[in-house]
A and B are shown apart, each in its own frame.
Chain A
Amino acid sequence: METQFLYTILILALPFCSFLFLGLFGHKLSHKVAGLIGTTSLGLVFLLSLYTAFEYFFGIGRNVQGIYQALVPYNTTWLPLGNLHFDMGILLDPIAVMMLIVISTVSFMVHIYSFGYMHGERGFQRYYAFLSLFTMSMLGLVVATNIFQMYLFWELVGVSSYLLIGFFYTEKPAIAASKKAFIVTRFADLFFLIGILIYGYYAQTFSFSFVETGSVREFASAAFMLPTALFLMFIGGAGKSAMFPLHIWLPDAMEGPTPVSALIHAATMVVAGVYQVARMFPLWIAYAPDTLHIVAWVGAFTAFYAAAVACAQSDIKRVLAFSTISQIAFMMVALGVCMPLPNGASPELIDHEFGIGYMASMFHLFTHAMFKATLFLCAGCLIHAVHSNEMSAMGGMRKYMPITHWTFLIACLAISGIPPFSGFFSKDEILEASFAYSPVMGWVMTGIAAMTAFYMFRLYYGIFWGTENKEHHAECHPHESPLAMTFPLLFLTAITLVAGFIPFGKIISADGLAYDFLAHFNWALGAKSCFIALISIGLATWIYKGEKQPIADKMQNAAPHLHRWAFKRFYLDEVYQFITHRIIFKYISATIAKFDRKYIDGFFNFLAWGTHELGFQIRGFQSGSIQKYAFIFFLGALALLLVMIL
């Protein structure tokens, strides 16, 4: 049964081959051929992923216990280390297969889209090579059979993100942003690695097959260490998924090409942290339920913070970036609000109701990837049309770009949680899980959902309605994008339209058993959240739709400091700047650098100087005059003779 999935290796191998090929020989190919190679390999991956999902969910189906089994079609020991060993392999289980679909779909659409967006750009082939590398790493991350393989691909994902953010490597902000993204996530990954090592030390395995091995039970003796390990891993996940206070890299990452933002910094890579927590979820719920509270509250605060900042930004990609942070935080919250069964029931079994957050989180991950990719790709079309990221350069764009307008509107409605679009269903599950956790959390999340609707429609009206920047538009003649760019928009929007009706609980749930959430659907809560979202949208319409926006100006004038603080992202970047430059660089790094230069370098400089001096002293021997050599040779012969005679 497992060998039938052996072809899934191709899902990783195809993008890897296209990366190698384009990376090595890309410069000899024309743009069109290079793009076609990248897109074709991704198209094949897309089809293979769909086929895998079909086979997995319908071909094999549930086992006797009524759950979808985790399959390992391929696993090889890569690096044995005594008892422990690092494996490389492919693991198929519901969340991995779901992620395969998400990644390959979005990546395929972005590949097509980039044909239009990156048209004629220098380094086009390099761009496609990096996209392939990224896709390979991300796919490898989700199908990892063990936490160490996940970590390897996790870092590869970070590298490809770095390469793509810094794609326009001649521009200063892009370089700074790529470095920032890499360093911040790398810093977080340090904790991830420590967590992995602690986990490996106590569990004696890196494998994800928690329940079968039975070794996790030994954790009972190390009751303190497992939550610590999981928490450290969560810090790594928080870095990748841009949780407060490690979110600072994500808004800057928008310096990369917009399709890259759509693929990496909105739909796929940033959910790696959520995915990691979901992967380790059986351990979290069984051994570290108290630590889950931290996850929940960090998520809630991040969601609130990002939503507040998003309300004040003027750069459209920034707004979307903060909305991404906020939405990913929603997924984290959903995982965090899961609770174990009370009265010490068997830890291997997690009840439906208690594990609803897990399902909601994965569902939201799926729907969010689709509509957020749509939003970013729309933003790309807009930037392509007006050559600016600023909302002030837009306004009234609905006349020029009808397709972009409609797809953007649908995605906005989806993210705001308006039925029947997909975001409504997934967000509602999250709210339900939050209310089950505690009413406070429930209301907080509802409030943030309302803020989401507000800032998304502020953005929507700012771009497509509002005051039109006529001079600028006369200059650059905005027009609808070519088919290569509009097709992905339409495709992803189509998914957004229907994704809400996928019976997601039947596919993914905390305990693997089918869970029909539509049957359990809390219609009262749904109506409430929908009503609140509509009020927010109405508010945004009232404030931002008109040509003149007296209310917006009045609000800004009423609380200028608040607006300024939100616009400056509550000065967090400045705080980081202060801490890193003024404290760490000045006192710690400078001291270490001084020590390095003075003593370490000094020692080696001394060695070099000594050798040099010695050489200088004895170089007289090397005169090049053969007669001097002969003289010394002669003296030596005499000395030998003397020794022999004596």
Chain B
Amino acid sequence: MSESVLKIEGLKTYFFTEAGVVQAVDGISFHVRKGESLGLVGESGSGKTVTALSVLRIVPRPGKITEGKIEFNGDDLLKKTEEEMRKIRGSQIAIIFQDPSSSLNPVYTIESQLKDVITAHQNLSKEQAEDKVIELLMLVGLPDAGTRMREYPHQFSGGMKQRVAIARALALEPTLLFADEPTTNLDVTVQAQVLELLNDLKKKLGMSLLMITHDMGIIANITTRVVVLYAGRVCEIARTGDLFEWPRHPYTAALLAAVPRLDMKKTLRVIPGNIPNLIEPPSGCRFHPRCEYAKELCGKMVPALEEIGPDHFVACHEWRDISLREKKASG
């Protein structure tokens, strides 16, 4: 078993709003191994992005990390000072955001934005920095990099902007890269290109990738392990193949059943109900109000994350008694 780059234990990030305390992330634990691509799946509002922002410690106000441990290469990030954190951001952990159209500063050229990042952390001459910029843009497959780097973000298409954003995230060769739904705002064909690019770069640079998405297709394509989140808690952690083959948590099964498939003739199953209000979340297992297998115990006790097989963890009281495999296959 290879060592882990990032280890999150019992992370709790709450938002202290006027309406009440939103328990956006409530006791999440998982780890990212060196060189792997881990998927973080869940509905909107399940705490995927907040988890990533928590690791970088840039949770926007009124959010606050209240508990937990985030170990990065053995150091607890929550014990670092703001100054130490600033040095880690970008150079060791980087993030790519969802919306490429607004993640670049519109008033600067691509060149100066990338140079900015490079020269802030490294001591390079003007020519060296320029060469590095061209090299980075070529790495992410931007055609005609030497000319186009002098253009402004509005002169680029969405896919090209996302490539530039990726180049900026990679500028300092981070060991861990978060990709926060990097393809949701792109065309399907461009999506595939960007995903392929990320996968290639991950291999080339030997970094770990944490892919945040709600798209099961992306998960199947580029991740090796998956963490399923629901309402701020972990439901299931498994290898991607195992998860698709035999989901053990009812929520995972429901998620997979909600993906349209061409090879099976069946109607899409929608998960009834909505994601719960996280100011007053349901007691016990947070999924129990929407779960068709829920028993009395589910509303009373929070299920612990149990190891049920190699690399397979599930947080469900009923996992032994329900067989989701047949369910899925028969539709």
A and B interact physically: no
Instruction: Write the residues of chain B forming the contact surface with A, with a CB cutoff of 8 angstroms.
Output: none
Instruction: Write the residues of chain A forming the contact surface with B, with a CB cutoff of 8 angstroms.
Output: none
